[in-house]
Structure 1
Amino acid sequence: MDWSGYDRIGKLGLQFANLASGSTVSYEISDIYFTTDTSGNSGSGGKQDDPTTDINTDIEYNFAKLLQESLYLYDANMCGTDVTEKTGLSWRQNCHTEDQYASYNGQTVDVSGGYHDAGDHAKFALPQAYTASVLGMSYYQFKDAFTELGQTEHIQRILDHFAEYLEKCAVLDANGNVIAYCYQVGNGNTDHDYWVRFNCPEFTTLCPITGQPDYGTIYISYMPAERMVESKSLKLYLVSFRNHGDFHEDVVNVIMRDLIAIMAPKYIEVQGKFLPRGGISIDPYANYGIPGTKYEALAWERLSQHDRVPERVDNR
């Protein structure tokens, strides 16, 4: 249509037909204005001087800069003993140097290098392999763009660092065959504490005086350091009390001391809620925090505040 002689159309009707199904959809548009304004203020199909279609000219649409600076994410998360030599960020230093070696069946494996998992205190092989693949494919498909922006050396350095680490994680035998793979280095939770709680409602033991069975619930809460207890192992351990005679107060202390010995947690507390025996129910509580740390203070605070509001026991 030749609308060159018009500056406004009062109404325009459009109809779209689906030839396969025979259905149609109709649209009606009112008050279409034409303008020669090239400032962007007229918008798309909007009325002249309509501010709702203005383009925000304060935003810088610079995709070249976006590509260049997005690569610094990998410089920021780079790990190893040569970070200061490779990274594009002057403030980054070497890291994960304390756990650069792992052991597998007596064989020492160099697992230095690689990248943090989004700034966390751990390195995971699978996410790194996926990320390296996506980056490598982008460089393979759009190599000219990287070259034009002067990012060839930068992207190659990042990809090489990925590849070197993933190769190191493969554990080889004497014949060069892969026998194991290191999929994680470090503890991703070292930068924050967290609780683990076990509820054990089927706990049984024997009265040390009468030999009769006692029933109760054991609650175990702790903040792990480097080691944790596996739930099935804990279940089998608690089952061993079934034929063991001990007082309720001693039971919770024995459990706590045993768990401290195998886990060395930052903090732990064990509480028992036993069913009444002879008309009396007993709820012993014990806790522990690493001496000389904030966890020792936490232990005293929780112990001193424990049972300030006694629980009703008419449900037992």
Structure 2
Amino acid sequence: MHLTLALASAALIATINANPSYYVKPIEDENDYARVLELSLLFYEAQRSGKLPQNNRIPWRGDSALDDRGLNGEDLSGGYYDAGDFVKFGFTMASATTLLAWGAISWPEAYIAAGQLDELRKAIKWATDYFIKCHVSEYVFYGQVGEFFLDHTFWGRPEELNTTRPAYKIDPEHPGSDLAGETAAALAATSIVFRNHDPEYSDKCLKHAKELYKFANRYRGLYNEAIPGAALYYESTDYGDELAWAALWLFKATNNTMYFEEAEHHYQHFHLKERPNEFFYNKKVAGVQMLLAQITGQLEYQKAARAFCDFSVRQQKRTPKGLLYIDKFGTLCHAANVAFVCLQAADSHGIGDPQEYRQFAEQQIHYMLGGSGRSYVIGWGRNPPKQPHHVASSCPDRPAPCGWSELDKNAPNPQILYGALVSGPDEADKFHDRREDYVYTEVTVEYNGGFTSALAGLLQLRVKSIT
């Protein structure tokens, strides 16, 4: 089984490389998790900023934003463009990275079976290399490059960007415990992913994770008060969850009980035992509860983790076709993140009903892959979205010009943004596949984070059942 999946994976990549306009044909089984896992990682590659490697697999992408600089000239090139535009938001990039790393730690066999472990490491490292660049000194971290308002004066290829790209930082006078904490969590989790593969890089990530957590804990504040523009797009309403989240990942990476004790302190002090309704970049409480339950096996934490999944599975609002409905922005991301957390619960002793949680996760991911009547993953399955709100993929092949007329054109994007999960349908299962309707067709690096890891969790179940 492992060899078959790996060979299929290699064949798909070879076909895409040979013919960039190749359209991945729909298949009978809408739960071909290995193939969608591969495509989801291709989406991250399409979002890369900076100097691209020679083995870049996205033929319509090239080097871009090479001159991104900090206030003192620091090199801030690299990382990921957040969505269909060209701002690099550190908070959501870090959140997606932590979820990707968590999936890699939990279900490596799935990535091996799909032939995607190396690609997953590359996807994670592209982000963490950037975070390390942004951490220019112990208590200074750049959390955003580019400005949304400036960015939206331009519609064209990232390789042809002509806007000013200001950089924004947090420091002791302008702290951001949430941003520093989430980045610390991402780096600590990544250090675990690379521990046996590249020990030197693992140590480097861990060093920066420790420093960023110390920064987050010592100088308290919300990052969107230090970086005001961020609040319009990725507001943070608290930082206690990120402090606990970072401390738990540092404990997992170091086994130093100091971090665990601090995590428990944050859990009590910031009242993180209450049942959350969601799990995403602004609310890490469900993840904190899950990690505490997994680490300790204590009844208090197990009950908290179970309460979240039981509520999500049995009581949370659904669309008529069964999709978990939490918010109109990132509808599918919210559902995928909950599916991922509940797959973690299913794999953990003493947290609820594993069969019920796994069935729920399968239902949610099946909806996204076509069970609802259409696929919501670009370039895959039945009637996938063809007009994502994504500037680069809306541009025709060079040397044809690309400009604002591409936004309004009622035609499929010339470039297929393989693997991107769109924001998704409304509460009535209605979906508008129009570029300008970004509420439905937006794509972001965060949307694919929990989705990718949920795919891995479901694929792992299949691998285990065969072996």
Shorter-normalised TM-score: what interval? 0.3 to 0.5
Higher helix fraction (1 or 2): 2
TM-score, normalised to structure 2, is 0.26
Structure with the bigger percentage of strand: 1
TM-score (normalizing by structure 1): 0.38
